[in-house]
């Protein structure tokens, strides 16, 4: 895995402790190697862009870091709560946005009123139509993704894992997302964003390229 960083980022290494440390992580599905000896360190107050061709294992790595699937070998250490926004919204079609906020909040030990207050504040920042009471199956793709992102942020995590979280966003909301990344960075969060948007890479502190394993150089499970 290759990476690049600005001089300012390198000089600040001693200032912020690691919030996410991936060491020698390996993952196979059957006879297919997805990840082999992957290392990654992300400090608090750092935005890292994770890039790579289709099939390199970016989504698999994010799911391992989020604790959704296990690595076959290697370790993942996190310094605090994780917020994970998958590329495909993990929503329940017959529930409303408020239903999701209350349910996810309750799972994190947050009461109904606080979950709604926090969630509505986050959704408002991304232009979500708060008056909308429809089930999520009836929402547009971009609106569903705004809710997906809000759920990742609901517990004010110290580590944010964002897998192309802007899918379906219009141009204004897309730019707004990157503005918020800078705010979250300034709050001390460790942020990993899977992205193919090379034009925005100047807005991150470091770019990490995850190469596809030689056995799967052309596509496959991400």
**Better-scored residue on pLDDT, 1 or 104:** 104
11 and 73 belong to one structural domain: yes
Instruction: Compute the distance between CA of residue 143 and CA of residue 196 in angstroms, rounded to an integer.
Output: 21
22 and 53 belong to one structural domain: yes
This prediction's pTM: 0.88
**Better-scored residue on pLDDT, 13 or 93:** 93
Q: Quick check: 118 and 105 in contact, CB under 8 A?
A: yes
197 and 125 belong to one structural domain: no
73 and 182 belong to one structural domain: yes
Domain membership of residue 86 (yes or no) is no
Q: Quick check: 207 and 3 in contact, CB under 8 A?
A: yes
Per the structure, the complete domain to which residue 99 belongs is given by 93-156
The last residue of one of the domains, among 140, 156, 172, is 156
184 and 127 belong to one structural domain: no
Distances, alpha carbon 190 to alpha carbons 64, 79, 151, 173, 205, in Å: 16, 9, 17, 22, 11
Domain membership of residue 88 (yes or no) is no
22 half-sphere exposure, CB direction, 13 A CA radius: 25
Q: Name the packing angle between helices 141-153 and 97-107 (round to 10°).
A: 20
Where does the pLDDT of residue 202 fall: very low under 50, low under 70, confident under 90, or very high at 90 and above?
confident
The last residue of one of the domains, among 133, 156, 179, is 156
**Better-scored residue on pLDDT, 11 or 124:** 124
**Better-scored residue on pLDDT, 198 or 167:** 167
Q: Is 142 helix (H, G, I), strand (E, B) or coil?
A: helix
The last residue of one of the domains, among 113, 140, 156, is 156
CB atoms within 10 A of CB 5: 17
CB atoms within 10 A of CB 109: 7
Domain membership of residue 87 (yes or no) is no
Q: What does the pLDDT look like over 117-175, one tens digit per residue?
A: 999 999 999 999 888 789 999 999 999 999 999 999 999 999 999 999 998 999 999 99
Q: Quick check: 205 and 185 in contact, CB under 8 A?
A: yes
Question: Can you give the pLDDT at residue 200?
Answer: 77
Domain membership of residue 41 (yes or no) is yes
Q: Quick check: 222 and 55 in contact, CB under 8 A?
A: yes
Domain membership of residue 85 (yes or no) is no
> Domain containing 194 — which CATH number?
3.40.50.300
Closest by alpha carbon to 45, among 153, 159, 125?
159
């Amino acid at each position: 895995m290759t990476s690049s960083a600005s001089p300012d980022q390198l000089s600040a290494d001693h200032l912020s402790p690691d919030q996410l440390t991936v060491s020698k992580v390996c993952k196979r599905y059957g006879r297919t190697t997805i990840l082999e000896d992957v290392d990654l360190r992300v400090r608090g107050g750092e935005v890292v862009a994770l890039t790579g061709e289709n099939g390199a294992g970016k989504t698999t790595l994010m799911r391992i870091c989020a604790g959704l699937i296990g690595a076959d070998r290697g370790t993942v250490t996190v310094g605090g709560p994780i917020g994970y926004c998958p590329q495909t919204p993990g929503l329940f079609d017959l529930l409303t946005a408020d239903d999701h906020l209350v349910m996810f909040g309750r799972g994190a030990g947050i009461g109904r009123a606080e979950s709604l207050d926090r969630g509505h504040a986050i959704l408002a920042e991304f232009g979500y139509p708060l008056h909308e009471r429809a089930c999520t199956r009836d929402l547009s793709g971009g609106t569903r993704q705004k809710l997906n992102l809000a759920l990742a942020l609901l517990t004010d995590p110290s580590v944010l894992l964002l897998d192309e979280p802007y899918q379906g966003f219009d141009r204004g909301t897309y730019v707004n997302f990157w503005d918020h990344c800078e705010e979250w960075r300034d709050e001390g969060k460790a942020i990993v964003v899977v992205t193919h948007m090379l034009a925005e890479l100047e807005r991150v502190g470091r770019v990490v390229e995850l190469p596809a394993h030689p056995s799967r150089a052309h596509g496959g499970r991400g």
